Structure 1
Amino acid sequence: MADLQMSNDLVAELRRTTFPVVYRMVGSVAETEDLIQEGLLRLQMATDKGTPVANTHAFFVSVTTRLAIDHLRSARHKREIYTGEWLPEPIVESGQGEDALEQIEMAETLSMAFLVMLETLSPLERAVFLLRQVFDYEYTEIADVVGKSESNCRQIFSRAKRHVAERKPRFESSKDARESLAHHFLEICKNGTLQDLESMLAADVEFHGDGGGVASAVLHPVIGAGAVARLMHGIFVKARQYDLIFSEATVNGQPGLLAKTSAGELISVMALQIVDGKIQALHSVINPDKLMHLGTVSDLARLPKRHQ
């Protein structure tokens, strides 16, 4: 750039501060990276044209948020015809994803359950709600970002907040308690009885799977402690047949499980929602296309071409 030198430090800072916003908007690591890259190009174009950029960060947040809104509007149809349930691309705490999990105090708004709930908002409502409730932007700033009046943004936020309050998922407040229960859950899945497994699940527990039509996964939610216990028991029986290795991880800010082959190739990522000492929901992403950002992915779960 001529006037604005896009140093590596500046680019890294812009990525670090906008990734948490854009990812919560679109629920995809790959799409977030693409939108941020497009935002960087637009920032460069504006500067090259001599357009004054008084506040680089504010400009960049505005550009990427608007790009995310447009992206969500165009993606609605694709998600409506998606095979099975659509779940966000998982973030596993290991430094990837522009260190989005540095903001661990906002883990609940990063969770699978919360991001799925956000899908019930319109793209504009989603942007206004996130900027105000999660990232504490002032209404004047939000108005500049989304191109609406301040009073309009207040109305949009109020409507979105009521909607979220009616559907917001609950979580175990103690991080230690969550991790302890997740550890015990994995041990029970590996070595316990079906009855032991069922005892760890809430009566109305839900299992959600995302295979995207390209990998073997449940197409519809499985609900109820008995049904989910049988499903998990079956998953671990099959895992033993293929010598799969399950390990604990932090998935989207919550306890989770990774399944890998003996060669270290990733099979699936599962996030656990824990409430009042029980597993309330499980979100399992096995669609290999949604796991590529996490490393080498196995094709073991991929369906034959004729089924895709």
Structure 2
Amino acid sequence: MIVSEQYGELRGRAFAIAYRMLGSVGEAEDVVQEAFLRMHQTLRGGEPIASPRAYVATLVTRLAIDQLRSARARRERYVGEWLPEPLVTGPTPAERAELADSLSLAFLVLLESLSPRQRAAFLLREVFDYPYREVAEFVGTDVDSARHLVARARTRLRDRRPRYHASREHREELARSFFAAAGQGDLRTLEALLAQDVALHADGGGKVPALGRPVTGRERVARTIAAGMTAMARFGVRLEPAEVNGEPGAMAYDARDRLVGVLGLGLADGRIRTIHSIANPDKLRHLGEVSDLGLRARAGERPGRET
């Protein structure tokens, strides 16, 4: 039998794999639930499980591969740019380096360029440090094929994978300066904080106002951010600092403390290189009550005082 402490550890690792595979909190939770249901059915049937850790990881990996294959078709029909569902994280110091490198929104978006099996093999080997023998078992292939899958993924991601070396204090200070300048409409300071090739991504899912495509370049991004902050202020939206997918960010709330959106910043070489804005209500519900401001703005309602 699996004791509660072991169950919690297994579930944490299972969700970590599933979320990085799928980029969706809800889908990851469904995969984890299905994996544990199957494991419990096996145990109740009297069949021994030599390694619950390997058994759960195998189930989660294969279920996530199947789920990702079906999700690809839905994402091709997605309105606007698809971004992962954000996680508001609060890691321990020992976890922060891994989180910034393997849980960032930029990294999860990059993983979308891999096939489902490449993505699984790469994550299991490069992020979770499983030996190739176990990677092959989890994915359902042989060791040589597992090595090939990881090698192909490395090649595809080479030079594109985000790396974060700044200290936590420096990253937080950079984020504070960014949000302060954005709120004040200080374009000169904003531009100084942004990398030359900075990219702004937004996901409204066709349900709330959002950019139709990414905005790139220091000046264009600075102007777009300043204009967006001005518009939010007119609707009484405020920002609260948060750690989003292991990186500095903020959560936007309306006057009734309902969530409007989540912003995540990707930092590199002392500058902000990526900004991800997620406002699709369906991708925020796991974080709390979601505002209807976006729906009202999309319908053309003018700013007004909420009661």
Per the normalisation by structure 2, the TM-score is 0.92
How far 1:295 sits from its partner (Å)?
0.9
- Write out aligned runs for 1:276-291 (5 A): 276-291=269-284
Cα distance in 2 for partners of 1:103, 1:172 equals: 14
Aligned 8 A contact 1:243 1:261 in 2: yes
The partner residue of 2:22 within 5, 26, 29 is 26
Counterpart in 1 of 2:181?
Answer: 188
Alignment partner of 1:253 out of 246, 251, 260: 246
Residue 54 of structure 1 aligns with which residue?
50
Structure 1 residues 101 and 288: CA distance shift in structure 2, 3 A: farther
Q: Name the structure 2 match of 1:131.
A: 124
1:32-71 superposed matches below 5 A: 32-71=28-67
1:88 correspondence with 2:88? no
CA distance in 1, matches of 2:74, 2:92: 26
Aligned to 2:303: none
Which residue does 2:262 correspond to in 1?
Answer: 269
1:105 aligned residue: 97
CA-CA distance at 1:15 after TM superposition:
1.1
How far apart in 1 are the matches of 2:191 and 2:297?
Answer: 33
Aligned counterpart, 2:305: none
Supply the distance in 1 between the matched residues of 2:92 and 2:65 (Cα, whole angstroms).
Answer: 20
Give the deviation of 1:74 after TM superposition. Answer: 0.9
Q: Percent identity?
A: 43
User: Structure 2 unaligned runs (5+)?
Assistant: 301-307
Instruction: Note the 1:287-298 alignment, pairs <5 A.
Output: 287-298=280-291
Measure how far apart 1:14 and its partner are.
Answer: 1.7
Q: Any stretches of 5+ residues in structure 1 without a counterpart?
A: none
Shift of 1:92: 0.6
Measured against aligned partners, the alpha-carbon deviations of 1:230-253 in whole angstroms (never above 9, x if no partner) come to: 111111111221111112111001
Measured against aligned partners, the alpha-carbon deviations of 1:258-287 in whole angstroms (never above 9, x if no partner) come to 111122111110111112222111011000
Question: Which whole-Å CA distance do the structure 1 matches of 2:36 and 2:92 have between them?
Answer: 18
Residues 27 and 111 of structure 1, relative CA distance in 2, 3 Å threshold: same
- 3-state SS of 2:114 partner: coil
* Structure 1 stretch displaced more, 283-292 or 200-209: 200-209
3-state SS of 2:158 partner? helix
Say if 2:130 is the partner of 1:156.
no
Distance 1:268 1:305, change over 3 A: closer
Q: Please give the secondary structure, in 2, of the residue aligned with 1:33.
A: helix
Equivalent-residue separation in structure 1 for 2:53 and 2:272 (angstroms): 40
Measure, in 2, the Cα distance between the counterparts of 1:292 and 1:246.
18
Structure 1: how far apart are the matches of 2:133 and 2:207? 44
Equivalents in 2 of 1:305, 1:199: separation in Å? 32
Q: CA deviation at 1:68?
A: 0.3
The one-letter amino acid paired with 2:181 is I
Match of 1:240 in 2: 233
Aligned residue for 2:83, secondary structure, equals coil
CA shift, 1:156, in A, is 1.1
TM-superposed CA distance for 1:20, in Å, is 1.2
> What is the CA distance between 1:40 and its match in structure 2?
0.8
How many Å separate the matches in 2 of 1:173 and 1:134? 20
SS class of match (2:242): strand
- Pairing partner for 1:146 from 107, 127, 139: 139
Distance 2:29 2:136 in 1: 24
Does 2:170 correspond to 1:173? no
